[in-house]
Structure 1
Amino acid sequence: MLRSIFEQFVQESPVSVMARGLMERVFAPERMDKLFETHAKVQHQQELLFSSQVDLMSLVVCGIQKSVHAAYKARATNLIVSTTALYKKLCGVELSVSQALVRETASDLRVLIEIMGGEQPNPLPGYRHKIVDGTCLAATDHRLDAIRLFAAKALPGKAIVVLDPLSKLVIDIILCQDGHANERSLFDNVLSGVQPNDVWTGDRNFCTAKFLWTIAQQKAFFVIRQHGSLGWTELSTLRALGQTDTGNLFEQCIEICYEGNRLKCRRVVLKLFVPTRDKEWEIAILTNLPLSHADAAKIAELYRNRWSLETLFQTVTENFNAEIQTLAYPKAALFSFSMALVTYNILATLKAALGSVHGIAKIDAGLSDFYLVDEIQGTYRGMMIAIPSQQWEIFRTYSLDQMGQLLQQLATGVNLKRFLKAIRSPKKKRQPLIVDHRHRHVSTARLLDIY
């Protein structure tokens, strides 16, 4: 009977089955508990295992349960601790554990995407691309005594996220409990992850002499927007190199000095046809990539792809419950944000499976994250009632090859029309409103008869 019910879900909502199978594989309890034991320094497992915390938070960040307390009640029969004990555990999850959760799960998912052939085309073969950006977590409720009397919004933390644009996975995260900390205070942690042949892309906040010099010293490369405060020496004048669809291209050779060391690099300038949202008409990009491998147009394209990380933050914010207002303690807030990024990685892997079957470009251009997540959220709770959790444990034993084959098999049955983006027509210029102080209310029916 269970087999027939499972087959019905495979037929009607294969993306939900794909998502649940991936979650079972990624959040396998034995693996989560081992991760905790390896990276935790202060906390202990005791009665509430780390795998149980991950299970609860996965329901919350996915939007399947509306709050931590609702998730606790849904799992109450399987837990022997109180809600107070649960919240205390969440408030003490160490940053090293949250960071390891993102890194280690992303490592497996990236291999899985490679097995399925779901990676994006590499614009620079032979190089590994990494996009880096920082984000500040949204303010929480004033639930703690320390912040209750302050009218100002309380920020629970900050994170620097590293994205692999080929797999579209978040592969690393650096967390900080101080919501007002300068991102540059975390740069040493970012630089520790630089490897030879990396190409790091970032906005101008990452444009410091030390950051650029260290990347170059590691035999890696950068494509980073120039910051106005960076000192540099002109070695050649700007020369015109044609234009792109967004502006005219120029390039020159410059030199940057850091602690007596000199670094020569290229300065690519894009003079825009239309200003940015900050009313800027010019974008200057610094790079040490060799001209023979990447001309000015390619550098501009690589920097433009930096917006994929901004899109990721928007997707996580709009489709997942990443920033839970009731989790005011920094460690708990950062743990929930890390869980949301892992959940996003699961969604990215699901889309990669669809892309490997239906075409990567087709999935990127037309598929809506909103409709995918809505389908999974709407089906999940009913599916878990119809098919008990014990029946899903088989996915924990699957190798990555077996998991890739299963995902592609399920992907063939997905009706993509159900998840296509809604294409809107261009916005029309809004006409000035008619203000009549003598008539503050109008009748819709009468106006429809007139117009």
Structure 2
Amino acid sequence: MALDAVFERFTKQSPLTVMARLLMQQALSRQWLEELFEQYRDKQYTRELLFSTVVDLMALVALGLKPSLHAAAQARTDLGVSLAALYDKVNRTEPEIGRALVREGAKKLVPVVKFMKAQQTPWAAGYRVRVLDGNHLAASEKRLKPLRGFRGAALPGQSLVVYAPELDLVVDMVPAEDAHAQERALMGPVLEQVRKGELWLADRNFSTTGILFAIHDKQAAFIIREHGVSPNPTVVGPPREVGRVETGLVFEQAVRIEDETGRQLALRRVELHLDEPTEDGETVIRLLTNVPEERMGALDVARLYRRRWSIEGMFGRLEAVFQSEVAGLGNPRAALLAFSVACMSYNILAVLQSAVETEHRLEAANFQVSSYYIADEVRTTYSGMMIAVPEAEWEEFETQSATELSRTLLRMAANVNPARLRKHPRKHKKKTKKGYVSGEVARRHVATARILRGEEST
């Protein structure tokens, strides 16, 4: 059988796997990765082990193709260095390199997605929405010698993540090795990337006078939940009722804040009086925004902020679909590099999902695609495809522009059967407090089979 016929069979029978390979070729090419490393490295240098090889191995772990970095390295016959040298490289990779991998890699994918979503209705007319949130990496295994006698959880780091929900891409990630560092203290690099025409959504951890003024000074907009203490705005006028949204009654009020130099900034405070309290028992949510009323009414402000939870969904998919937090990597720099590669892997699969949804017009049909099923198909077929299809078959795609790649992906997505990828969300389960019970009751056990037969009670 001719080699091009083998390639065509994969395109027809597992198009998502072929599409994933094309995107990795575009966003994570070896030449680009080495140039990125040289541009952003500080004290590190390349001797025998290339940075692109490290990213390749990490990507295998993030996608679930290999259970650990050790297993990924063992499978490579051309690694050329010892495992000790590999781990030494990973443990010393500077966090700024991981950030550049996410930020610069996303820039390569943004035009690909924009072409696909050209007809999409924007979340906020005239704005590019950005959602900001912090993410603490889960506790790692205590393989590092200084941690072995420690009984508590060892946290390898945290990050601030910037998410573009309309594109479903992680567009920036600011890593921090200190898991106990205050999130606000990490905002400097984020604020440097704020651009005119963006609309930032964030929770009350980022409600400070300095942050609000910094975003406004960049000619960007914000909707940020007001903190109970900061920035303590001055009330300018009485609150007025403006109507209802799905979760409660909305009020609006004019306020202003003042920075340390005496500059003043007029804002709107949008209050949402909830029909049902939050998990923390709060009944009122206060939002501060500099978006002019003529561009967005208070009801739309309340509804848009509610969509901030899209970033929680992204974090959930990162955790469920990818190995974004590798328990065996306890060194902060290694753990943060793994998270960076996982974010980039998420972006690649998000583009695949966008291609399927666009080609089959699924959003108009309210048809949800599962990122888990997309990742599962790629995991199942990718290794076999890379053995069966030689490198020469991919060369013709290397020079494609973003628009040409978008058209190629959409053409291949036509071979996807959306029914196999359909998401089956569970119905919302109302949380109920179980209350206190004694240790004797909590440790009690029952036989499920007997309960189902009605022979025992709970």
User: TM-score with structure 1 length normalisation?
Assistant: 0.93
Q: Alignment partner of 1:63: what SS?
A: coil
Check the 8 A contact 1:132/1:160 in 2, yes or no: yes
CA distance in 2 between counterparts of 1:322 and 1:10 reads 28
Cα deviations by residue, 1:355-391 (Å, 9 ceiling, x for unpaired): 2212252587411111111111111122222224554
1:139 maps to which residue? Answer: 139
Q: CA RMSD in A?
A: 2.5
In the TM superposition, what is the alpha-carbon distance from 1:402 to its structure 2 partner? 2.1
1:350 maps to which residue? Answer: 352
1:232 maps to which residue? Answer: 233
Question: Which moved further from structure 2: 318-327 or 367-376?
Answer: 367-376
CA distance in 2 between counterparts of 1:311 and 1:406 reads 28
2:437 maps to which residue? Answer: none
Q: How does 1:49-68 map to 2 (within 5 A)?
A: 49-68=50-69
Check the 8 A contact 1:36/1:50 in 2, yes or no: yes
Q: How does 1:199-238 map to 2 (within 5 A)?
A: 199-230=199-230, 231-238=232-239
CA distance in 2 between counterparts of 1:337 and 1:386 reads 30
Cα deviations by residue, 1:274-331 (Å, 9 ceiling, x for unpaired): 2222222111110010000000011112211111111111100111001111111111
Q: Alignment partner of 1:397: what SS?
A: coil
CA distance in 1 between counterparts of 2:226 and 2:135 reads 19
Counterpart amino acid of residue 311 in structure 1: G
Check the 8 A contact 2:111/2:403 in 1, yes or no: no
CA distance in 2 between counterparts of 1:20 and 1:283 reads 44
CA distance in 1 between counterparts of 2:138 and 2:448 reads 40
Check the 8 A contact 2:251/2:272 in 1, yes or no: yes
CA distance in 1 between counterparts of 2:356 and 2:392 reads 27
Counterpart amino acid of residue 239 in structure 1: R
In the TM superposition, what is the alpha-carbon distance from 1:155 to its structure 2 partner? 0.9
Structure 1 residues 7 and 288, CA, compared in 2 at 3 Å: closer, same or farther? same
User: TM-score with structure 2 length normalisation?
Assistant: 0.92
2:403 maps to which residue? Answer: 401
Check the 8 A contact 1:130/1:165 in 2, yes or no: yes
Check the 8 A contact 1:118/1:167 in 2, yes or no: no
In the TM superposition, what is the alpha-carbon distance from 1:123 to its structure 2 partner? 2.9
CA distance in 2 between counterparts of 1:439 and 1:366 reads 39
CA distance in 1 between counterparts of 2:281 and 2:237 reads 28
In the TM superposition, what is the alpha-carbon distance from 1:443 to its structure 2 partner? 5.5
Identical residues among aligned pairs (%): 41
Structure 1 residues 205 and 219, CA, compared in 2 at 3 Å: closer, same or farther? same
Structure 1 residues 363 and 406, CA, compared in 2 at 3 Å: closer, same or farther? farther
Counterpart amino acid of residue 290 in structure 1: P
Structure 1 residues 23 and 443, CA, compared in 2 at 3 Å: closer, same or farther? closer
Counterpart amino acid of residue 310 in structure 2: S
Question: Which moved further from structure 2: 143-152 or 176-185?
Answer: 143-152
1:33 maps to which residue? Answer: 34
Question: Which moved further from structure 2: 379-388 or 220-229?
Answer: 379-388
Q: Alignment partner of 2:405: what SS?
A: helix
CA distance in 1 between counterparts of 2:431 and 2:50 reads 56
CA distance in 1 between counterparts of 2:447 and 2:197 reads 66
Cα deviations by residue, 1:410-432 (Å, 9 ceiling, x for unpaired): 111110000101244666999x9
Structure 1 residues 156 and 447, CA, compared in 2 at 3 Å: closer, same or farther? same
Question: Which moved further from structure 2: 439-448 or 414-423?
Answer: 439-448
Is residue 423 of structure 2 the alignment partner of residue 421 of structure 1?
Answer: yes
Q: Alignment partner of 2:328: what SS?
A: coil
Note the residue ranges of structure 1 that are not aligned, 5 or more in a row.
none
Structure 1 residues 388 and 60, CA, compared in 2 at 3 Å: closer, same or farther? farther
Is residue 448 of structure 2 the alignment partner of residue 447 of structure 1?
Answer: no
CA distance in 2 between counterparts of 1:125 and 1:273 reads 28
Check the 8 A contact 1:354/1:363 in 2, yes or no: no
Cα deviations by residue, 1:240-290 (Å, 9 ceiling, x for unpaired): 011011111100001112202222100000111122222221111100100
In the TM superposition, what is the alpha-carbon distance from 1:168 to its structure 2 partner? 1.3
Check the 8 A contact 1:355/1:362 in 2, yes or no: no
Counterpart amino acid of residue 92 in structure 1: R
1:308 maps to which residue? Answer: 310
Counterpart amino acid of residue 122 in structure 2: N
1:330 maps to which residue? Answer: 332
CA distance in 2 between counterparts of 1:224 and 1:179 reads 24
1:172 maps to which residue? Answer: 172
Cα deviations by residue, 1:335-357 (Å, 9 ceiling, x for unpaired): 11000000111111111112221
In the TM superposition, what is the alpha-carbon distance from 1:405 to its structure 2 partner? 1.3
Q: Alignment partner of 2:58: what SS?
A: helix
Counterpart amino acid of residue 92 in structure 2: G
In the TM superposition, what is the alpha-carbon distance from 1:441 to its structure 2 partner? 5.0
Structure 1 residues 119 and 258, CA, compared in 2 at 3 Å: closer, same or farther? farther
Check the 8 A contact 2:138/2:156 in 1, yes or no: yes
Is residue 65 of structure 2 the alignment partner of residue 84 of structure 1?
Answer: no
Note the residue ranges of structure 2 that are not aligned, 5 or more in a row.
435-440
Cα deviations by residue, 1:143-190 (Å, 9 ceiling, x for unpaired): 112222211211111100111122111111111110111101112222
Structure 1 residues 353 and 88, CA, compared in 2 at 3 Å: closer, same or farther? same
Counterpart amino acid of residue 61 in structure 2: V
CA distance in 2 between counterparts of 1:445 and 1:269 reads 48
1:158 maps to which residue? Answer: 158
CA distance in 1 between counterparts of 2:229 and 2:367 reads 38
Cα deviations by residue, 1:83-108 (Å, 9 ceiling, x for unpaired): 11000001111112111111111001
In the TM superposition, what is the alpha-carbon distance from 1:46 to its structure 2 partner? 1.1
Q: Alignment partner of 1:85: what SS?
A: helix
CA distance in 2 between counterparts of 1:201 and 1:428 reads 26
Q: Alignment partner of 1:306: what SS?
A: helix
CA distance in 2 between counterparts of 1:84 and 1:343 reads 25
Check the 8 A contact 2:63/2:322 in 1, yes or no: yes
Q: Alignment partner of 2:134: what SS?
A: strand
